[in-house]
Amino acid sequence: MGKINVETCEIEGLKVITPTVFGDERGYFMETYNYNDYKAAGIDMEFVQDNQSSSKKGVLRGLHFQINYPQDKLVRVVSGEVFDVAVDLRPGSKTFGNWYGVVLSAENKKQFFIPKNFAHGFIVLSGSAEFAYKCTDFYHPNDEGGLKWDDPEIGVEWPMPEGMTKEDLTISEKDQKWTGIAEYKNR
């Protein structure tokens, strides 16, 4: 490997990837994805769709998952900074309902691998952020599920952007209507 450093997390399957960055007075270069390196790290996936979003400070997106067509995701931040979260929804998992969060930024260039059957979301900590992610399945309309971003049973410790409170966050109407994890425990 050598081109990427892969950290495992306390929730099996989640991985934080730090690429090797080659810099000089002109700027920098890095590989954002190399199939052979990722395969050697245990991420042997065929990514079929790339997505990118732009959000302003205080936007919270999530916690989303796909119901019938689950996706593995490899996410990163192109500009700005976010706190990215994954919640384990794998049936029978010993860490079902547990969450893990990581700061992803243009500066640290970290990536976060999130396997199928995890809910995913992020909050923008900087003035704005461009968020990019690779997926192993195509987008299927009407297949999105979600969890309440502040479900106390999950207990995500969302950092607040500087100068903001929970009341200042921008959360879509759809994301405000999701229910808690209790609904999914007996599936």
Enumerate the active-site residues.
64, 133
DSSP per-residue letters across 66-98: ESSS---EEEEEEESEEEEEEEE--TT-TTTT-
Instruction: Give the closest residue to 127 by CA, choosing from 61, 76, 54, 63.
Output: 54
3 DSSP 8-state letter: S
Instruction: State how far the Cα of 120 lies from the Cα of 111, in Å rounded to an integer.
Output: 14
Instruction: State how far the Cα of 97 lies from the Cα of 88, in Å rounded to an integer.
Output: 5
168 DSSP 8-state letter: G
Burial state string for 57-89 with b = 16 or more CB within 10 A and e = fewer than 16: bbbbbbbbbbeeebbbbbbbbeebbbbbbbbbb
User: What backbone torsions phi and psi does residue 84 show, to the nearest 5 degrees?
Assistant: -105, 140
Cα 30 from chain centroid (whole Å): 20
